[in-house]
């Protein structure tokens, strides 16, 4: 029944009544086109489309397409610009708490904490994180910004707000034995504004900022051994 | 709330308003025009696909044939995806050597993507091979969206075609609608969108995950993949299934505020434009704008509430000595901030998208009520690609009937009488949805194998359960994601929840089209209730709120509302 398509390019416009059908369609009449359409759409949209796009992207934007990896001064890849990594040394700026994986910052298990607004676990976790922050940052100006005790949605948020970076300056400067002004100017250089001046929020990329610190001031002195950062409990299933 | 936040929200609304008419005209020409747009570019591919599928594009179907074709096509879709998931360990493009997906999870996921739900009881980066992501899942992002567009067109044709009692009763060709949706709308936008997203930082690669040593000397394995090509269609087709577990909160899926804006526009673009397409089909674009206006009002109400409450303190942290100025940042990303997180949560649940850029589970009680209620209103606020329009048209039929009762006239819509049969079908459509959600939620909340999956205690736990079944029945796919859905009970009940929410609602919707197509058209008289203008829009909003909100109000009062008052008194669970 189907098949002759050369003459079938243009369907009948809807307001022209079409010729009466020869016979009633049966369920089975749809099975063959359904199987063929399944295969055809799968090959077109499930294979050709992503594979061709992968090839084109590799040519046009190789660094982006491969994950936006960045290197340190010696040329070694130390992370992706877009993916948070943990920092414990007081001479480095610290990212937000992470619920991705057991120790946090695990790109194999991106997740938020999914703790609700009346969760005792959330209150206890944040209170613990705040206590630790206050101990590590005795000279910090004012109360800690809320994002430094709240886990991000992905667990891989590469940014902190400018306020949260400025808040950490006294600790970083002291650990590195430099004047806070030198660190502050680096933070200001690393601050990105809103996209197109309107969209999103101003932010500081923590890995980029720490790389800039190392470039300007050298690696920080090794930290005294500390307990590993407490990771918020994570759930790694469900879309979130 | 900040001025800048409202400017961003206003800008988004403006862009959606601006594209509705031109994109709506384009889609009208694609699906209803005598000649399709850009014939040299798209015509050859369209014709090749007809030939390969063995369909005659001139041959239209009546409502039963249209529905049958859709059901059979969807059946094979479930089957193939299930097969790919189960066999991914022996299939190519699996650089991480991921194992076969377990049977119950594979069932849930295959149903989920076929029904345009994209509920995910798994984390993509730890479960699905690149082949499964592309050919098993992203494939459905195209076809399930195209199916939704087709169903909306079929119902719209039933309402708007004036073929009369003796004319043909066909509602279009399922195969033509499917193929044209892909060739003229979904694929070209996805191709351009992929390149834009890659340029802004979204990966698109088949390389294995990258293992590296961090600046502090720790090992980190960075998951990668063909993300951009999937990201764009997941938003455009209002599918929402993330490549990674964290979905569009993941910086690889959504690296900048600009990508965030683009992705939100993609989610709303087709549903908004289809209202204009519908107006053209009805030969009166005011019919489309009346529907658009009702959607816009409900959208703005949702974002206003969500933004207000998310901009405040998280109740669990309210007493801690913190600088609370940024708002409730638990589960949110710094680059998006509160405004874009609340906006996205509203957009993704107004539609049936379900992609998230922040974790709804960690929203304040009333901030989190907005996405839940949006889903429970039936995702008619622009709604899913196609699904939003057909759901809204059922609501329109209901509204016209109620208006008819109020003025004491036989209700008619676009010159056609609405009678007992259409009302029965509309009520079937309206009742299936709360029935399945409330029954399954009740079951899960009293069964130990249901409650053992909860991540939160107290009323929030009930919200997690209700959100899960509402989201799956509504084919949304977002979650209060603390719920561990990857258990036999949740996988299987969720799978049926999605199947019923999709197909048992599509059938009455198309049947209304089939019943309306052959009706005599009578010219509007002085007693005709106008279905354009502010009065009708207000009435339509009222019907949506009464049907949706009253059905779920008792259950909502035990979840988010109870939690709100508990939070006010400083209680934690």
A239 found inside a domain: no
Please identify, among A62, A82, A116, the residue that sits at the C-terminal boundary of a domain: A62
A108 lies in the same domain as A191: yes
CA-nearest of B569, B60, B362, B527 to A149 is B362
Q: Number of structural domains, chain A?
A: 2
CA-nearest of A210, A189, A126, A152 to B246 is A152
Do the chains contact at B483 and A238, CB–CB below 8 Å? yes
Render B147-203 in DSSP notation, one character per residue.
Answer: HHHHHHHHHHHHHH---TTTS--B---HHHHHHHIIIIIIHHHHHHHHHHHHHTT--
Q: What is the pLDDT of residues B250-263, one digit of tens each?
A: 999 999 999 999 99
User: Which of A121, A154, A159 has the most B C-beta neighbours within 10 Å, making it the best mutation to test the interface with B?
Assistant: A154
Indicate the pairing of strand A144-145 with strand A77-80. Answer: unpaired
Structural contact between residues B76 and A38, judged by C-beta atoms closer than 8 angstroms: yes
* DSSP state letter for A20: P
Q: Is the pLDDT of residue B173 over 50?
A: yes
As a three-state string, the secondary structure of B292-305 is HHHHHHHHHHHHHH
**Alpha-carbon distance A144 to A129, whole Å?**
10
Q: And the tokens for B105? A: 């999870």
What's the rounded mean pLDDT across residues B412-435? 95
A139 found inside a domain: yes
Q: Which residue of B lies nearest to A42 if distances are taken between CA atoms?
A: B139
Helix B365-376 / helix B285-310 crossing angle, nearest 10 deg:
160
A34 lies in the same domain as A93: no
A89 lies in the same domain as A50: no
**Alpha-carbon distance B467 to B478, whole Å?**
8
Do the chains contact at A158 and B143, CB–CB below 8 Å? no
Counted residue by residue, chain B has a size of 573
A142 lies in the same domain as A193: yes
A132 lies in the same domain as A108: yes
Indicate the residue of B68, B205, B245 with minimum beta-carbon distance to A30. Answer: B68
A22 found inside a domain: no
As a three-state string, the secondary structure of B461-488 is HHHHHHHHHHHHHCCCCCCCCCCCCCCH
b/e code B430-447 from CB counts within 10 Å (16+ = b): bebbbebbbebbeebbee
A87 lies in the same domain as A187: yes
What's the rounded mean pLDDT across residues B509-521? 96
A127 lies in the same domain as A208: yes
A136 found inside a domain: yes
Q: And the tokens for B93? A: 């493009």
**Alpha-carbon distance B177 to B116, whole Å?**
17
Q: Is the pLDDT of residue A213 over 90?
A: yes
**B372 or A231, which is more confident:** B372
A180 found inside a domain: yes
**d(CA B11, nearest CA chain A) in Å:** 9
Structural contact between residues B30 and B274, judged by C-beta atoms closer than 8 angstroms: no
Which residues of chain A lie closer than 8 angstroms to B316, CB-CB?
A: 115-120, 122-123, 126
Domain that holds residue A166: 67-217
Q: Which residue of A lies nearest to B58 if distances are taken between CA atoms?
A: A11
Do the chains contact at B205 and A57, CB–CB below 8 Å? yes
Q: What's the pLDDT score for residue B526?
A: 81
Q: What is the pLDDT of residues A130-166, one digit of tens each?
A: 999 999 999 999 999 999 999 999 999 999 999 999 9
What's the rounded mean pLDDT across residues A13-17? 48
Structural contact between residues A231 and A88, judged by C-beta atoms closer than 8 angstroms: no
A75 lies in the same domain as A182: yes
CB pairs A-B closer than 8 Å: 502
**A9 or A75, which is more confident:** A75
What's the rounded mean pLDDT across residues B507-535? 92
A125 found inside a domain: yes
Indicate the residue of B57, B206, B317 with minimum beta-carbon distance to A123. Answer: B317
A residues 80..139 contacting B (CB < 8 A): 80, 82-89, 92, 96, 100, 105-120, 122-123, 126-127, 130
A34 lies in the same domain as A79: no
A155 lies in the same domain as A182: yes
CA-nearest of B341, B343, B230 to A112 is B341
Cross-strand bridge partners of residue A80: A69
* Number of Cβ atoms within 10 Å of the Cβ of B24: 23
A4 found inside a domain: no
Radius of gyration of chain B (CA): 23
SS3 state of residue A139? coil
A49 lies in the same domain as A88: no
CA-nearest of B74, B78, B121 to B101 is B121
Structural contact between residues A157 and A96, judged by C-beta atoms closer than 8 angstroms: yes
The contacts of residue B153 (CB under 8 Å, 6+ apart) are B31, B171, B172, B177, B386
SS3 state of residue B100? coil
Which residues of chain B lie closer than 8 angstroms to A207, CB-CB?
A: 215
Q: What is the pLDDT of residues B296-315, one digit of tens each?
A: 999 999 999 999 999 999 99
Do the chains contact at B315 and A118, CB–CB below 8 Å? yes
Q: What's the pLDDT score for residue A9?
A: 45
User: Which of A54, A103, A116 has the most B C-beta neighbours within 10 Å, making it the best mutation to test the interface with B?
Assistant: A116
Which residues of chain A lie closer than 8 angstroms to B11, CB-CB?
A: 198
Indicate the residue of A1, A65, A147 with minimum beta-carbon distance to B204. Answer: A65
Q: What's the pLDDT score for residue A170?
A: 97
Mean pLDDT of chain B: 96
**d(CA B284, nearest CA chain A) in Å:** 16
A102 lies in the same domain as A184: yes
């Amino acid at each position: 029944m189907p098949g002759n398509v050369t003459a079938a390019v243009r369907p009948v416009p809807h307001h022209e009544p079409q010729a009466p059908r020869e016979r009633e369609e049966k369920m089975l009449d749809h099975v063959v086109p359904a199987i063929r359409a399944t295969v055809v759409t799968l090959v077109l949209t499930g294979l050709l489309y992503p594979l061709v796009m992968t090839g084109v992207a590799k040519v046009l934007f190789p660094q982006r397409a491969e994950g936006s990896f960045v290197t340190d001064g010696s040329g070694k890849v130390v992370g992706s610009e877009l993916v948070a990594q943990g920092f414990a040394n007081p001479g480095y700026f610290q990212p937000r708490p992470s619920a991705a994986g057991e120790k946090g910052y695990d790109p194999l298990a991106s997740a938020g904490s999914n703790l609700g607004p009346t969760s005792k676990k959330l209150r206890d976790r944040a209170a613990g994180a705040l206590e630790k922050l206050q101990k590590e940052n005795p000279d910090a100006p004012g109360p800690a910004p809320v994002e430094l005790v709240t886990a991000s949605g992905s667990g891989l948020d590469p940014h902190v707000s400018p306020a949260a970076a400025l808040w950490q300056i006294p600790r970083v400067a002291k650990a590195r034995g430099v004047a806070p002004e030198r660190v502050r100017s680096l933070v200001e250089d690393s601050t990105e504004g809103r996209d197109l001046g309107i969209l999103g929020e101003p932010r500081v990329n923590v890995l980029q900022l720490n790389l800039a610190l190392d470039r300007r001031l050298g690696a920080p002195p090794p930290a005294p051994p500390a307990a590993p950062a407490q990771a918020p409990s994570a759930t790694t299933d469900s879309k979130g | 709330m900040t001025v800048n936040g409202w400017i961003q929200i206003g800008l988004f609304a403006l862009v959606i308003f601006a594209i509705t008419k031109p994109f709506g005209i384009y889609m009208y020409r694609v699906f209803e025009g005598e000649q399709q747009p850009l014939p040299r570019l798209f015509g050859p591919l369209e014709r090749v696909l007809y030939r390969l599928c063995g369909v005659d594009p001139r041959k239209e179907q009546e409502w039963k044939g249209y529905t049958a074709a859709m059901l059979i096509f969807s059946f094979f879709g479930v089957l193939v995806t299930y097969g790919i998931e189960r066999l991914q360990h022996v299939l190519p493009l699996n650089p991480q050597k991921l194992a076969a997906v377990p049977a119950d999870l594979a069932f849930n996921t295959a149903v989920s993507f076929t029904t345009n739900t994209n509920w995910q009881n798994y984390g993509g980066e730890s479960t699905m091979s690149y082949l499964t992501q592309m050919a098993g899942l992203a494939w459905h992002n195209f076809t399930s969206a195209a199916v939704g567009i087709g169903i909306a067109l079929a119902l719209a044709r039933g309402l708007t075609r004036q073929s009369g009692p003796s004319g043909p009763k066909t509602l279009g060709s399922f195969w033509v609608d499917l193929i044209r949706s892909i060739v003229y709308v979904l694929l070209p936008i996805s191709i351009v969108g992929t390149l834009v997203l890659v340029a802004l930082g979204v990966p698109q690669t088949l390389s294995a995950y990258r293992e590296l040593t961090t600046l502090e000397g720790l090992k980190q394995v960075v998951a990668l993949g063909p993300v951009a090509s999937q990201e764009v269609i997941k938003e455009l087709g209002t599918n929402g299934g993330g490549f990674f577990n964290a979905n569009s909160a993941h910086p690889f899926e959504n690296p900048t505020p600009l990508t965030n804006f683009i992705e939100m526009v993609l989610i709303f673009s087709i549903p908004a434009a289809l209202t204009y397409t519908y107006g053209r089909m009805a030969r009166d674009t005011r019919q489309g704008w009346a529907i658009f206006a009702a959607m816009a009002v409900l959208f703005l109400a949702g974002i206003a509430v969500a933004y207000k409450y998310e901009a405040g303190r998280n109740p669990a942290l309210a007493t801690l000595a913190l600088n609370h100025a940024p708002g409730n940042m638990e589960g949110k990303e710094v680059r998006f901030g509160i405004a874009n997180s609340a906006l996205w949560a509203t957009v993704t649940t107004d539609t049936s998208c379900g992609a998230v850029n922040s974790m709804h589970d960690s929203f304040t009680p009333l901030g989190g009520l907005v996405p839940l209620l949006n889903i429970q209103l039936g995702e008619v606020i622009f709604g899913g690609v196609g699904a939003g329009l057909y759901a809204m048209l059922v609501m329109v039929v209901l509204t016209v009937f109620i208006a008819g009762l109020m003025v004491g006239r036989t209700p008619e819509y676009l010159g056609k009488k609405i009678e007992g049969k259409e009302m029965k079908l509309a009520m079937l459509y309206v009742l299936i949805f709360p029935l399945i959600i409330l029954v399954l939620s009740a079951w899960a909340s009293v069964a130990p194998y249901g409650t053992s999956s909860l991540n939160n205690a107290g009323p929030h736990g009930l919200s997690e359960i209700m959100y899960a079944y509402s989201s799956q029945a509504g084919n949304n796919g977002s979650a209060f994601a603390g719920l561990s859905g990857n258990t036999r009970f949740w996988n299987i009940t969720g799978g049926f929840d999605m199947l019923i929410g999709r197909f048992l609602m599509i059938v009455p919707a198309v049947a209304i089209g089939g019943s309306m197509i052959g009706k005599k058209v009578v010219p509007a008289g002085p007693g005709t209730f106008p279905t354009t203008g502010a009065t009708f829009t207000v009435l339509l909003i009222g019907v949506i709120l009464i049907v949706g909100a009253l059905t779920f109000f008792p259950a909502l009062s035990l979840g988010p509302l109870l939690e709100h008052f508990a939070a006010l008194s400083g209680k934690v669970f």
